[in-house]
Structure formats: structure tokens, C-alpha cells
Chain A
Amino acid sequence: MSWLAGVGQRVRELLRPSGLDVDLDAELQQHFDHELNRQLASGVPEEEARRRARLRVGRLDLTREAVAEERSGRVLADAARDVRFAVRALRRNPGFTAAVVISLALGVGGTTAIFSVVHAVLLRPLPYPQSQQLHLVRVWWNDFSASLSVADYVALKEQSRGVAEIGAFFFPDGGFAMEGAEGPEVVKGVFVTAELPAVLRVSPFMGRGFFGDPGECQALIGHDLWQRRFSGRPDAIGRRLVLDGESCAVVGVMPSGFHVPGQRDDEVWVRERLKPPTRRGGFFLETIARVPDALRPEAAAARLTALVTPVLRDRYGITNQWKYGLRAEQDVLVGDVRETLLLTLCAVSLVLLIAIANVANLLLARGSVRTRELAVRASLGAGRARLARQLLAESAFLGLLGGGLGLLLAAVGIDLARSAAALVVPRMNEVRLDPAIVAFALAVGVAAGLAAGVMPVVRLPWTHLGTWLREGGRATGEGIRDGRLRRGLVITEIALTLTVLTGSALLVKSLLRLEREDPGFRPDGVLSFLISLPPEPYKDRVRTAAFVTDLDSRLRALPGVTAVAEASSLPPDLLTFSNNYSIEGATEDAAGPGGVAEWNMVSPDYFRTLGIVLLRGRAFDVSDRAGAPSVALVNEAFARRHYPDGRALGKRLKGGDWDPREPWTTIVGVVRDVPYERGVWGGAHPMVYTALAQNFWYGSPYFVIKSAGDPSTLVPAIRSVVARLDSRLPLRDVATLGDVLRRSTTVPRFRGALFSILGGLALALAVTGTYGVMAFHVSRRRRETAVRRALGATVGQVVSMVLGSGMRLALTGVVLGAVGALLTTRSLSSLLFRVDPRDPSVLIASAVLVTLAAFVACALPAMRAGRTDPAAILRDE
């Protein structure tokens, strides 16, 4: 490329600018001297000779300027001229330009939006120094895992020195109630161990952090809360906040944007004051280990297990098989969405390919129209390279426009998606259009433009451009090859579209299946909220029992209320905790006498309120109170696990690790399976229900209220009832169970929506692409059509001929696309809920949809061909 050579020379000149000017001056002076000598030689007097020489040589100052301009300006001028030329050519064809730019913008916009999410979520490290060292620690029993218990944490803290740094956090139920001038406010926050900030390598930017007496309530606060509550004043340090009824000292302000891993709106971090454990159990500590780079996580996990095993055996008699597992925190946080994001990126790349094929088609069609222009320019001396560069400059410029518009679309899309996706995609708040994304969009745009532009340039009848004009400017052999290429592109577009569309349809079908799936409980008319009783004065179980019973009976008295119940966990995904247990008479095997099950402490009316079917035995009743024999219900999954003969009633178990002093709990009923952990999709796990009335050490129950009408209208009445009992208590997590159920399918719904948009986009691009090619085909063959009509072909024959050739392409594309879909949809398996990735009805429906769309795209040009007036056209020619 001569630009390149030009740049090289220009750089050389820039390196010695003054020297060159001296050279030029010398050269021009010599030029003048030569001229003068010649004039003198012809015999005129010196004065006259000088005058003539000056006249003939011209003004040297202007020459110097012209040379300087030539030197500096031309490189840029060449490029500028190409672009100017491109702009002019494109402005002459606004329809064409718009079609190309919009096609590219849709492809680039989609790709950029998804890439920006992938970039923020998957590629960028977590916002902690050396975040690759951070791992989540879980305890594993065979194929079951849980967070850590306090016993685990204490032992790890003692034993882990030299292997890893350990810190942990856990969640208060529904945030902290913070007292303020205008009543209690719920702020999101977590309890953290004193070590956690150091493990994350984030220190407060103000204040010293946790210190001194571990029994004192100390809190770190977030930057925003500091601004809001203390107006950003430095004397906030040492002030006190009343959190859940307890006064805590503010010991530091964390930097803006700090959150514990996986959280996005926590703004208070309270130092935990956990009681020394008497058993291993209550697995609720999210534990983070910082493992040095030199140590592999598996090795670290093995060493930690080996170090802690004897400690737990000596202290709590733990002899069953367990081990720690470490997983990189980044993988943990993006685990569920990684696959979705990468698959979406694949799908959106296919859409980009469709857009490129579309644009290549448009350029090809235009290229064959422009052959005349190019032939004329070639015969006037424009070089091949020059023309090719011109065409590519045009494509690149189109790509740049497409990229720019795509960037705008992506910006709008990200903005719309940010709030919708915030619930679904971790780190979504970190997604933004930074310079890397802008560069990505423009680069993809230009690359797409060039990719689409290269083929038409290669396909120009370069060698025949000279002879082209002589042959009357009609299609040559190349034109036929062009046609083949165009048809190939249409087939490709349709095949890709069917592949993308089939994937989208599978996800949508899966979503419909999921939403129609019976969750095992009836959410209609049920409102839920959480009350978290502060330690003062509710440390006393009697006070807790009194409050809950009192509130329960007052809620029942509200108009329209048909049932009220309390529970520590709610379906479909509000599981508060799991517990280990021992089964009476079970043989000690490697997995221990029992195992771990989901645990829910509920009031007698719980099953009735939620419509959970009692299969055998009885539900809890008022006689199951503190002091009465301890009773439990289990679900089918639990009964199947331990009593395959179906005789669960009357069997006994103990919560927590085996302790001879603990009394047995008798199973009095079996209820239907209901999912508690990961929604309907995740399915039900073994669950033990115990009577809340026998477990009032627990003071943060959900209340569920069934009402005949719209339950959300009850909220103000409920608030005043609660305020009358204890004005410090806010209602937390107020929602209808219907909302909770819907929220649990947010991820699949988001995925379904995303892929539906992509499928629709692909279809729209393919339809416009097919239409464009067919319309072009028809207009090029007007003469042929006219001749046929003149020779007696009917309108129907003409229409069906065009339609036939178009549909042949479409059907070829559909067949190839079906094969493509069968080969690729398997990668969606894990995203599908009870739908086979090769579901024939989905594939057939998608194929029919694509075929119909292609039919419409072909029918319009076919009808135009049918309207051809042979007389008029043949006369024109």
C-alpha cells in the first residue's frame, strides 16, 4: 500500500526537517543557475537573462510551499480523499447505506452489549487485590456440601497458619434494622469475622477498623451510608449506630464500592460475636480462604482438611467422612451465569455473521451495478490497487458507521438490561461502556464491514474491466459466479437463523415448562414478611414465644385473613438453613449415621396456609409446645432416603450431631415435596420440619398470611399491628409468595428473553437479506422476464418461477440449519428444564417459522416480477 510507503518517508522527513529544507533550497538555487546559464548562453545581457530565468523558473517561495504541502499533506489527503469519496458515493444511495449500517449496527450492538457483560463479569478480576487468591471454602460429605459451621471456623483459624488466611461472613435475617430519626430503617449488611477485611486486602479509608474487646459491637460502614447518615463528616468514627436494637461503635468507613464477595448492596459490616460452639453444626458461614499463588487450591483444601480433622474429632467426636473443598471465588460468583453468557455470546456472534452475510450481499449487488463506474475509472487510468482501496475504504467506513450506531444501541441496551439483569447476573453493576468496549465496538464494526467488503472486491471482474465496456456492459461469466455466491450467502443466513431460532425456542419452551410446573404449594393470596427479633429483650425464649403467638393471633383478626403461619424457611428458594441429624438405629457407615437435610421450623397452620399436602400422619398442632415430646414432619424425599419401605411414621431422629443427652424427635407426618433451595428448577431435597413452638431459640421467622382478596392490601394494617407490639421492628422482605415464586425464575426468564430477542433479530436480518437478494435478482432479470411474458408465459408462471428459485434457497438453508441446530443445541442441555435439546416439535416449529418468513421475503419480489409489463420494458431497452 502506498500509504504505508508514504508514511515511512514522512517519518524520515520529520526526523530531519530542517536539513531537507536546506537541501531543497540548494536544489532550487541550482535549478535557477542552470536556467540563468542557458539564458546567458543565448547571448542576452545579464539583466535580461535574469528576468527571463525568473519567469521561466517561477516563484521559488511558492515552490517551496507546494513541496512542503506535498510532503506533509498528501498522506492524510489520500486517506481523506478515499473517505470523502466513500461518503459521497454512500450519500448518493441513502437506502443502501441505511440498510448496510442498520444491519451492521444490529449485529455489532448485540455483540457489544453481550461482550461488555462478559468483559465485566467473566474477564475482569473481582475488585479485591490479587483476587485470584480468594477461594470459597465449603465442607463436603460425599456429594453434599454446605457452608462452614462456627466449629469449623474456629478450628480453621487456629490451624490454617501457613496454608491460607481465613475470613468469613454471614447474613443477618433480612438486613439490619437501623434506628433513625424517622423510625427504623432496614440497611443491608453482613456479620463479618474480624479477619475478613484483611483477607480481602481492603482496609477502611477512614478509621482503624475492628480492634480491642471482641465482645463489643463494632461496625464498619459503607461510603454511601457515611454520606447519608453522617453527611460525610470525619467525626463519624466513634459514633454509635443502633442496629437490631443494639448500639454498635462505628470503627471505620470502607471505600466506595466495597462489598463482600457476591453481594452488591451491603453497607454495614458488623463484627460477629458468635458463641463458642458446643457442637459442629449450623452450617452458615460463608468462608473465604486466601491461598498463596504457589499453592494449588486442591492441595490447600487437602492440607486444611488434614489439619482440622483431628481437632473436630477431639472436640466434638466427629468421625464421619468429610473434607473441605476450595473453589475460586470468581468461579463461584459467576458459576451459574458463565454458561449463559458464553452461549449468548456464541448466539450473538451467529447473529453478527448473519448481519455480515447480509451486508456482503448488499455490497455484491451494488458491486455489480458499479462495475460500469469502475470500468470507466479503470480505463481512465485508475490503478487496480487504487480502486480496491477505494472500495474497501467504503466498506470500512460503512463498518465504522455501523459500529458507531451499534455502540449506541449497546449503550441503550446495557442501560435497559442493567436493572433487569441486576438480579440475575452478578457484578452487573460493574458493566459499563469503558474505552475498551468502545474500541471493541468500532473494531468489530470495521472488521465486519471489511469482511463483508472483501468478497465483492475479490469478485469484481478485475482482469476484464478493460474489455467490460466493449462488451456492452452486460453480465459476464463473473456475474454468474456472483449469483452463486449471493445464493450461497442466503442459504448460510437462513441456516444460521434456524440454528439461533431453534436455540431460542428451546429456552422459551423450557421456560414455559418451568412456569407451568406444579411447585408443590399454592402461592395465591399469600403474603410473606420477615420479623427479626433483636436479642434485647428476646434472648428470653418466653418473650419470643409470646411475641410470635401474640402477633399471630392479631394477624388472624385482620379482615379477610383466612390463615396465618410462621416458618424459618419459605419455598421456593428462601432456605434459611440446613442441619445435620442422626437417625435412630441407623448403622454407622462412612457417611455417618445420618446426613444433612434442609431444616424448617414451622407453626401448626403452615401446611394449610401454603397448601402443602399432608400425605401421611398428622401436621403439628397446639399440643406440640415447649416441654411436650419433640415431634417432626419429613417430606417424601427424606422418607425415601431413610425409609424406603414407606414406614416413616413413629421413627425417631436427632437434629445436630449425635448427643446422648438430647431427646429424640419423633416423626409424626409426611408431606409432599416442596423446593426450598433453588426454586422449582432445583427441585426438592430431603427436608425435616420441626415445630417452631418447640424451638423458640430461633427469633427470625417468616410470617405467611393467606387472605381471601389481594394480600398486598393488608400491608399497612400489618405494619400498624407490628408497631403496636414493638415499634422498633420493621417488616422485612415484604412480598407475596407469587412474587417470590416469579422471582425464583428470573434467570430462566432473562435467558429466554435474551435469546428471543436474538432469535427475532436473526430472523429479521435473514428476511431482509433474502428479500434484498430476491428483489435484486428480479430487477436484474427484468428483461428476461419481459421476454418470457412476451413469449406467452403467464403471470402465475413468472411468479412461481421466482418464488420457486427463492424457496429452493430457503429450503436448502432450512435443511442445513436443522442439521446445525441438531449439532449445536446439545450445548444448551444444562439450561433446559425438562426439554430435550433435540425436541422435534421445537425444531419443526422453528423450521416452519423460518420457511414462512423466507416465503414472505420471496413473495414480494415474485409479485413484482409478475407485474412486469413486457411491452414497456422491451421498448425501453
Chain B
Amino acid sequence: MPDDSEVLLKGTLDMLILKALDLRPMHGWGIGERIAQLSRDVFHVQTGTLYPALQRLLRRGWIAAEWSTTDAGRRARHYRLTTTGRKQLETERASWERASLAVRRIMSAES
């Protein structure tokens, strides 16, 4: 079922990651799970898309990463939202809402 994942719009992944991290810092796998969970299992993000995206967001300064030791004593890399990342999330949310509203209007228009 990789099919549904393709529904994931180009360019929206970054927004979804930011949204996922809005709740709390988490590691890579957690982010993927969170997106799947929030989308009710519609979007599955594979590592080949997720990790380059994380890299991109790191570079833009929207998220930060740090290594920490888990309860089980293993080192894990956690990602968290930065202040600019939070602002970016708001910007993207606003423009997404505008665009999706517009698209919905178009699609629901009577022809």
C-alpha cells in the first residue's frame, strides 16, 4: 500500500513534519508514525522521503536535532521545532488553508 502515500502532495511534507513536531520533540520514526496517525493511516512516509526532508528543515533552521539517551540506555536523535519553525508552520498553515479552500471551491463548483 505505498499507493496512498503518493497522495502526499509535493511541498506539503515539510508542513506535515512541522505540524507533527508541534506537539512535542520526537525521533524520526515517531514523526512518521505521528503523520500516519494524524492522517488516519492515509499518509505513510518512507525513510527515503522523511530523512532528506528532515535534513532540509534542519538547514532552513526550522527544526533542531539533538542526541539524547533513552530510558533504555540507547542514544536517540530527537528533533524539535525552533521558533522560526513555529512561525513557518503558521505561515504554511495559513497559505495552505487559502489554497485548499480555493481548490475545494473549484472542485465543488457546479459545472
Q: A379 contacts the other chain (Cβ, under 8 Å)?
A: yes
Tell me if B's interface is mostly helix, strand, loop or mixed. Answer: helix
A-B contact pairs, 5 of them (CB 8 A): A5-B61, A26-B75, A35-B29, A69-B52, A381-B11
Interface residues, chain A, with chain B CB atoms under 8 Å away? 2, 5-6, 9-10, 23-24, 26-28, 30-31, 34-35, 56-60, 62-63, 66-67, 69-71, 74-75, 379-381, 383, 466
Add 6 more A-B contacts to A57-B47, A60-B47 (CB < 8 A).
A2-B61, A5-B60, A58-B48, A66-B48, A67-B52, A466-B98
Q: Within the complex, what minimum Cβ distance (angstroms) separates A234 from chain B?
A: 64
Q: B56 contacts the other chain (Cβ, under 8 Å)?
A: yes
Q: Within the complex, what minimum Cβ distance (angstroms) separates B33 from chain A?
A: 8
CA distance A27 to B51 in the complex (A): 10
- B48-84 residues at the A interface, CB under 8 angstroms: 48-49, 51-52, 55-56, 58-61, 67, 74-77
Q: In the complex, which residues of chain A have a beta carbon less than 8 angstroms from the beta carbon of B77?
A: 23, 26-27
Interface residues, chain B, with chain A CB atoms under 8 Å away? 11, 27-30, 32, 44, 46-49, 51-52, 55-56, 58-61, 67, 74-77, 91-92, 95-96, 98-99
Q: Is the CB of A2 within 8 A of B59?
A: yes
CA distance A27 to B32 in the complex (A): 14
Residue of B nearest to A24 (CB): B51
Q: Is the CB of A63 within 8 A of B59?
A: no
CA distance A381 to B56 in the complex (A): 17
Q: In the complex, which residues of chain A have a beta carbon less than 8 angstroms from the beta carbon of B48?
A: 58-59, 62-63, 66
CA distance A100 to B54 in the complex (A): 41
Residue of A nearest to B61 (CB): A5
Q: Is the CB of B52 within 8 A of A70?
A: yes
In the A-B complex, the 9 residue pairs with the smallest Cβ-Cβ separation, listed nearest first, are A58-B46, A70-B52, A34-B29, A63-B47, A70-B55, A381-B95, A31-B29, A66-B52, A63-B48
Q: Within the complex, what minimum Cβ distance (angstroms) separates B12 from chain A?
A: 10
Q: In the complex, which residues of chain A have a beta carbon less than 8 angstroms from the beta carbon of B92?
A: 381
**CB contact between A70 and one of B56, B61, B96 (< 8 Å): that residue:** B56
Q: In the complex, which residues of chain A have a beta carbon less than 8 angstroms from the beta carbon of B56?
A: 70, 74
Q: In the complex, which residues of chain B have a beta carbon less than 8 angstroms from the beta carbon of A26?
A: 75, 77
Q: Is the CB of A2 within 8 A of B60?
A: yes
Q: Which of A67, A71, A379, A466 has the most CB of B within 10 A?
A: A67
Q: In the complex, which residues of chain B have a beta carbon less than 8 angstroms from the beta carbon of A30?
A: 27-29, 74, 76
CA distance A875 to B43 in the complex (A): 50
Q: In the complex, which residues of chain B have a beta carbon less than 8 angstroms from the beta carbon of A9?
A: 58-59
What number of residue pairs across chains A and B have CB atoms under 8 A from each other? 79
Residue of B nearest to A9 (CB): B59
Q: Which of B30, B44, B46 has the most CB of A within 10 A?
A: B46
Q: In the complex, which residues of chain B have a beta carbon less than 8 angstroms from the beta carbon of A67?
A: 51-52, 55
CA distance A59 to B49 in the complex (A): 11
Tell me if A's interface is mostly helix, strand, loop or mixed. Answer: helix
Q: Within the complex, what minimum Cβ distance (angstroms) separates A53 from chain B?
A: 11
CA distance A84 to B58 in the complex (A): 25
CA distance A489 to B48 in the complex (A): 53
**CB contact between B47 and one of A58, A69, A381, A383 (< 8 Å): that residue:** A58
**CB contact between A63 and one of B27, B51, B91, B96 (< 8 Å): that residue:** B51
Q: In the complex, which residues of chain B have a beta carbon less than 8 angstroms from the beta carbon of A383?
A: 91
Q: Within the complex, what minimum Cβ distance (angstroms) separates B31 from chain A?
A: 10
CA distance A62 to B49 in the complex (A): 10
Residue of B nearest to A379 (CB): B98
Q: In the complex, which residues of chain B have a beta carbon less than 8 angstroms from the beta carbon of A57?
A: 46-47
CA distance A34 to B50 in the complex (A): 15
Q: Which of B11, B52, B67, B92 has the most CB of A within 10 A?
A: B52
Q: Within the complex, what minimum Cβ distance (angstroms) separates B20 from chain A?
A: 15
Q: Is the CB of A56 within 8 A of B46?
A: yes
CA distance A381 to B95 in the complex (A): 6
Q: In the complex, which residues of chain B have a beta carbon less than 8 angstroms from the beta carbon of A58?
A: 46-48
Q: Within the complex, what minimum Cβ distance (angstroms) separates A663 from chain B?
A: 97
Q: In the complex, which residues of chain A have a beta carbon less than 8 angstroms from the beta carbon of B46?
A: 56-58, 63
Q: Is the CB of B76 within 8 A of A28?
A: no
CA distance A23 to B47 in the complex (A): 15
CA distance A320 to B46 in the complex (A): 101
Q: Is the CB of A66 within 8 A of B51?
A: yes
CA distance A26 to B65 in the complex (A): 14
